[in-house]
Amino acid sequence: MSNIRPRDRDSILQALSAGVVPRVGLRHIQVGRVREVEALLRDIDRVADAGAAIRFVIGEYGAGKTFFLSLIRLIALERRCVTIHADLAPDRRLHATGGQARGLYAEAVRNMATRTKPEGGALPNVVERFVAECMSSAEQDGLPVERVIENRLSPLLDHLGGHDYATVLKAYWRGSEEGDETLKASALRWLRGEYPTRTEARQALGVRSVIDDADVYDAMKLLSAFVRIAGYAGLVVVLDEMVNLYKLQSAQARNQNFEQVLRILNDVLQGNVAGLGFILGGTPEFLLDSRRGLYSYQALQSRLAENSFAIDGRVDMSGPVLRLQSLSPEDLLLLISNIRSVFALGDPDKHLVPDDGLTAFMQHCNSRIGEAYFRTPRNTIKAFVQFLSVLEQNPEVDWRSLVGDVSLSPDEDDAQLENDAASDDELVDLRL
Amino acid sequence: MDWLRKITEAIAGRPGASRPTDPSRDVNPDRGHKSNDTRAGSTTGLVTKTADGRYAAFGFTFSSLTQAEEYANRRQRRHAPVAPSAPAAPPPPKPTSRPEPVRQQTKSPVPGFPNIVIDADGRFETGNYSFSSLSQAIAYADRRTPKPSSPSVPAWQRLESASAANIVGTAKGLSAPPRWIGEPAEISVGGLKFNAELVYFGTPKRYDQKCDMSRIDPALAVGPSSDRDGVHLSYWPSYQKLHPASRRAYLEWLASGRSKPSTPIGYVFIFFYGLEQRLFMEQSRDEADRILGEVERLLTIYGTNNSFRHYAHALLSAGALLRPNDAPPLQPRPRAELYTFEIPVNVRMQLGRAIAEGRALDANDALLWILNLPDTYLRTPGTRCFEEVCELWRLRFGERHPNGLLVRKPRSTIVQHYRAASATFSATLKDETIPDISGTNAPLGPLRDLLHACCDELAAYSRLLGRDPTARGTLAADLLLPPALRGSGTAKLRETLEQRFKQSQGVIAAAELRALIGEDGPATGARLPALVLRKIAVALDASGFGFEPDPRYGPKGGLSGDSPVAIFPCPAGGPVEPDEYNYATARAHVEAAVLASVADGEVVEAEMEAIRIQLDAAQVSPLERQRLAAYALALARDPPKVSAALKRLKEIPVAGRGQVAESAIAAALADGRVHPAEVKFLESLHTALGLPADDIYSALHRGVSSGTQRKSDRATAIENGSARRIEIDQERLEQLRRDTTKVATLLSSIFEVEDEARRPPAPIPSSSVMPAFSGLEPRHSELLAAVLKRPLTRDEFDAAARALRLLPEGAFEAINEWSFERFDEPLLEDDGTITAAAHLIDELKLIGAES
């Protein structure tokens, strides 16, 4: 907390004033939720330790799910994991027949991040790191590179489609050897699951299968095995906006997707997979709705039911469901005081507004948009950052005169966001 | 004809059944004797057979021989020589159609009574009148003829004496001076010696019939045998006229203390005649108390005799006038015992005195008055349960006239005529100081109505007692009484209920309730009939308990034997207005909440507690709250069908629906977890209420995930007032601050772990080309060195990498990975041109990298 780097400060403030989750320095603004963070941290550590984990992060709109998922993802990266993440959408789901599942996989892998490339698009880095290591190893041992790749990837053969992985990676190596950019791109394309038909894949890479709608989860397992071979600790899959499954109209489609969730859940809880973690974000109705939510799927319902002993304030964080509570006024107050502290680089003497200013600011927001501002902290934060910026650049201005001028509109996206998750993709657009 | 006889008796005051009448007693033996005589005679030769087969006698024909002989016999007797002269006999009517004079010769004088003759039909004639019995005739003759002075004994007595003379062993005593024996004193009559009191005694110089009906004259004969059955008693018996055997019986009765219940009433009357004579004719006020007391005593023994009861009451009532004022106030009693057409004088006196003193009449007086009106008819309830009617009267009267009933003082004063039971005298008694209410009518209408109302109120009770006289004091009877009169039955029930209430946390089976009120039925299963339910309701109301579900205050659904019923103590069964808005809404809340909490198959204490808390917040009276709490208890044990309940909930006005849903959610949340079944119920509830289902999940989510949630949170979420101030909970803020510090520390430990590692930036001695790049592969080091020399474009970088047999992306990754290890930051940045981070270049230089 004390040492905030100017660089972090700028990127934090920049992100916040743009209304998105900062990439760095989240620890400076995270308020509370220590138990939740600890629980997820244990999950990540388990994944990094060749274990498996799954969490349903359930929270209302504006409860900070996205922020929380970002934080966890950054922690995962910090623990030398590879993360892939995507938001579910009508055209991106876990199981489908019309390419939607493949779409989800493609989106997630496109967002693949490593510690060195946290902003996404790290697939080539991972692949090349693997291939390069294979090359140097081949050089040392005097073996053909292709043989080394095969040897290294031999554990993948246990998995569905593992054989083709080796083929594709060899193709990538060939491409880089021969300067054949098309071949490299094809290999990456195959890895991202972007080949719609086997014919095309066979023509381009000589493989017999593609990653299809039906085996997205298998592809993820394969990927996790691959990144571990490539030298990373594990794979953390972050899927947000799970509520889109709940919104599926067809009961059959819903159930097939929930079946996938159940597969994942079973595999993870039974320890059938290694180095793979799932963090799924959704709204309460996604979990609770007894007709269309997870609770509608009997097998999930019993597995997700809460610990019946964790009542009366006793908390059990070991269950797969983690609930995020919406921000309370106190949460918000601490949050903006943290932001103030970021502005001052952690030096209390440089605070731009006194504590009174914080409450006055909140009071002001409250009177302007009422209760909604708790549910949409994003705009409040944005306004506060702008408020402090003005104060910083105009030291002669008294904060009291400004409080009346902060313009704050209710989150216009509110309804839209509920319906169309695609527009709430601050994680996807998280760039600095 | 029974009724007619009764009426006649009532008017006369003398039932025929209880007292023998004169003719059968006095005349029959006489007559029998005579007929025997005639039958001894012969009719032979007087009857002849006619040509047409009939029998002729004395010119008449008969169809049978017997008839003819009979007739002949009579004729013969008439023609027999008897006393020829019948001076008083009127000339008999002349038969016109019959050839033979029949009646002229038929009269025969009665020996000893010159004025009386026996006519042809065996009747006794005197002074142109015919009597069926001799004694009647004698009595009449006595009255007609001026009394002869010479015989000191009247004619009828002579007859007695004559007949008495025939009795063997007649005991006659000496005459004694006439006197009244007030205090017990020994007397000796007809060989009997005993202590007598309250009797006249002695032989008068002259019998005054008016006074001497009961005087014991020792000079008169007393028979050796005792007529205990009263065979010889006449209608108006008097001691003088008694048969000697009866006299003995009378004296024996006196001697034995005048209390043998089987004694014929005639003897009692003889004694009674003396009392009334003493009291009214001689106006012996000093002895009034004693005499009245004695009459009251007799009344208890012989009161079953209507005639005696009537006279005794008449005496008691009139006697009150002679009594001193200090008599205890009269208690009301049913009028049916009295046969007078006026208000008994003692009642009038008691009321009159109160009025004279200007006192208001109290309930007792008023009831006394109304009951003693001659036209008051106490209906069956009044007679069957008189005690209860009195009690109820006092209550109702007190309600209507809390200060008593003021009556205007009437002008007339009390005058009472007393007609003696012996029919020998009448007396007029007066008290001019006491106003007489006989003529006052004004207050009577309302009082009468009040009495009728009391009787009406007790009608059901009375019918029950009619069916089962032993029911008094049982619960069933108690319940039919007005609440104020209820007694042991309900008290017992209350005790039982209180006990059960404590034992069973307020919930018992309907069948048990049914058993408690004494109704039979199958132990379980079958529904309780509506009648039984009503009875249960009444019984519990009466014993100060309410119950739920009570069909009177809620849906009309029935109860089966094993359905749980919640009982709760409250006055008068805790009546509520079930359709009142607040109550109905609160009830719906409870229903919804209970359904929500039973949805997961069990109701835990926390859920009930949540419901209670909600009830406390509801705008209902304490009584209603109590009832609703009980309702919740019962519902929790036996939840209704969801569909039926939801249907009912639909009737809630739209405005209240949101709150119903709120309560249901709160109840479901109370156990701190959300069961899928609960969610399912809440969904159907919202659908039924026409509310958006989306709210459920947020609400459930809010409720579940915060063990430490503030209570007000839910409340603030409900209200939409935007004007409210933000309240910062300092305690929570502190807690949060601690959490934040913790999490910041935690995160720092994750993100800055390498910071610590890199702190000792010791130059690593290495065999590689550039010691600053230690840990980095030589080829990668070369590539990095190239970048450090000058920023490379993407293509140049790729080419450089390929020249070193490196994959460009892999090299980038590897170099940055190394940089993370060293500096906790990526070194290379890719913005189209590949550059190294400026501030890291300096650090690299510090540790000895070549530029």
Residue B32: pLDDT above 80?
Answer: no
Of B736, B740, B813, the CB nearest to A116: B813
- Tell me the chain A residues in contact with residue B784 when contact means C-beta distances shorter than 8 Å: none
Model confidence at A234: pLDDT above 90: yes
- Is A239 a residue whose pLDDT tops 60? yes
Q: Which residues of B touch A179 (CB under 8 A)?
A: 802
Average pLDDT rounded to a whole number, residues B119-146: 78
- Strand partners of residue A52: A276
Tell me the average pLDDT across A93-112: 90
| pLDDT (mean) for B631-639 | 79
- B602 or B711: which carries more pLDDT confidence? B602
Percent of chain A with pLDDT strictly greater than 90? 19
Determine the average pLDDT of the residues in A76-84. Answer: 91
Q: What is the pLDDT of residue A84?
A: 93
pLDDT of residue B661: 78
> Are B806 and A132 within 8 A, CB to CB?
yes
pLDDT at B329 over 80: no
Query: Poorest-confidence range of A56-65, A280-289, B151-160, B305-314?
Result: B151-160
pTM of the model: 0.57
Residue in B713, B741, B826 closest to A116 by CB: B826
pLDDT tens-digit series, residues B431-459: 888 888 888 888 888 888 888 888 888 88
- Largest Cα–Cα distance of chain A, in whole Å? 75
Contacts B805 to A, Cβ<8 Å: 135
Among A406-410, B234-238, B334-338, the range scoring the smallest mean pLDDT is: A406-410
pLDDT above 80: residue B398: yes
Nearest to B707 among A32, A37, A315 (CB): A315
Using an 8 Å CB-CB cutoff, list chain A residues near B743: 27, 30-34, 37
Alpha carbon of A371: minimum distance to chain B alpha carbons (Å): 6
CB–CB of B816 and A117 under 8 A? yes
Query: CA B687, B692, B696 angle in degrees (round to 5)?
Result: 90
pLDDT above 90 covers what percent of chain B? 0
pLDDT of residue B755: 45
Question: In 3D, which of A325, A240, A331 has the Cα closest to residue A30?
Answer: A331
**Cβ neighbours, 10 Å, residue A314:** 10
**Among candidates B679, B697, B725 on the partner chain, residue whose Cβ is nearest the Cβ of A283:** B697
Write down the ipTM of this complex: 0.77
Cβ neighbours of A44 in B, within 8 Å = none
Residues B367, B393 contacting (CB under 8 angstroms): yes
Instruction: Identify the band that residue B619 occupies on the pLDDT scale cut at 50, 70 and 90.
Output: confident
Asked if residue B598 lies in contact with residue B678, where contact means CB atoms within 8 angstroms, the answer is no
Q: What is the pLDDT of residue B98?
A: 47
Q: Which residues of A touch B795 (CB under 8 A)?
A: none
Q: Is the pLDDT of residue B317 over 50?
A: yes
Q: Measured between alpha carbons, how far is residue A420 from residues A90, A370, A417 in Å?
A: 9, 24, 5
Residues B744/B748/B749/B750 CA torsion (nearest 10 deg): 110
Chain B closest-CA separation from residue A34 CA (Å): 5
CA distance A376 to chain B (A): 15
What is the overall mean pLDDT for chain B? Answer: 74
* CB spacing of A60 vs B702 below 8 angstroms: yes
Q: Would you call A132 and B744 a contact, using CB atoms and an 8 Å cutoff?
A: no
Q: What confidence score (pLDDT) does residue B722 get?
A: 38
Cβ-defined contact of B750 to A333 (cutoff 8 Å): no
Q: What value does the mean pLDDT take over residues B796-819? A: 82
More confident residue, A52 or A428: A52
3-state secondary structure chain A: CCCCCHHHHHHHHHHHHHCCCCCCCHHHHCCCCHHHHHHHHHHHHHHHCCCEEEEEEEECCCCCHHHHHHHHHHHHHHCCEEEEEEECECCECCCCCCCHHHHHHHHHHHCCECCCCCCCCCHHHHHHHHHHHHHHHHHHHCCCHHHHHHHHHHHHHHCCCHHHHHHHHHHHHHHHHHCCHHHHHHHHHHHCCCCCCHHHHHHHHCCCCCCCHHHHHHHHHHHHHHHHHCCCCEEEEEEECCHHHHCCCCHHHHHHHHHHHHHHHHHHHHCCCCCEEEEEEECHHHHHCCCCCHHHCHHHHHHHCCCCCCCCCCCCCCCCEEEECCCCHHHHHHHHHHHHHHHCCCCHHHCCCCHHHHHHHHHHHHHHHCCHHHHCHHHHHHHHHHHHHHHHHCCCCCHHHHHCCCCCCCCCHHHHHHHCHHHHCCCCCCCC
Distance (Å) from the alpha carbon of B689 to chain A's nearest alpha carbon: 17
Q: Are the Cβ atoms of B676 and A34 closer than 8 angstroms?
A: no
A202-231 per-position pLDDT tens digit: 988 888 888 888 888 999 999 999 999 988
Whether the pLDDT of residue A392 is over 90: the answer is: no
pLDDT, tens digit (0-9, with 9 covering 90-100), for B489-502: 777 777 887 887 77
Q: Which of A42, A60, A79, A125 to substitute to test the interface with B, most B CBs within 10 Å?
A: A125
CB contacts, 8 Å: B722 with chain A = 366-367, 369-371
More confident residue, B473 or A103: A103
Q: Averaged over B328-354, what is the pLDDT?
A: 74
- Are B193 and B252 in contact, with CB atoms under 8 Å apart? no
A215-236 as b/e, with b when 16 or more CB fall inside 10 Å?
bbbbbbbbbbbbbbbbebbbbb
Q: Which residue of B has its CA nearest to A360?
A: B726
**Quick one: pLDDT band at residue A409, thresholds 50, 70, 90?**
low
**Alpha-carbon gap, residue A277 to A221, rounded angstroms:** 10
- Whether B725 sits inside 8 A of A285 (CB atoms) is no
d(C-alpha A139, C-alpha A129), whole Å: 15
- Tell which of B701, B719, B737, B745 to mutate to test the A interface (max A CBs under 10 Å): B701
Pick from B704, B740, B806: which is nearest to A31 by CB? B740
Nearest CA in chain B to A302: B676
What mean pLDDT, rounded, does chain A reach? 82
Alpha helix segments (H runs only) across B117-241:
134-144, 155-165
Count Cβ atoms within 10 A of the Cβ of residue B338 and give its class: 0-12 exposed, 13-18 middle, 19 or more buried: buried
Range in B163-172, B579-588, B701-710, B802-811 the model is least confident about:
B163-172
Return the minimum-mean-pLDDT range out of A39-48, A399-408, B51-60, B749-758. B749-758
Interchain proximity A115–B737, CB inside 8 Å: no
Buried b / exposed e along B340-374 (16+ C-beta atoms within 10 A)? eebbbbbbbbbbbbbbeeeeebbbbbbbbbbbbbe
Question: Do B679 and A288 lie within an 8 Å CB cutoff?
Answer: yes
Nearest chain B residue to A130 by CA distance is B810
A409/B672: higher pLDDT? B672
Distance CA B808, CA A374 (A): 47
Shortest Cα distance, chain A CAs vs residue B702, angstroms = 6
Does the distance separating the beta carbons of A37 and B820 come in below 8 Å? no
User: Does pLDDT of B81 surpass 70?
Assistant: no
Q: What is the pLDDT of residue A106?
A: 92
For residue range B691-703, list pLDDT tens digits in order. Answer: 777 777 777 777 6
pLDDT at A81: 92
Nearest CA in chain B to A63: B702
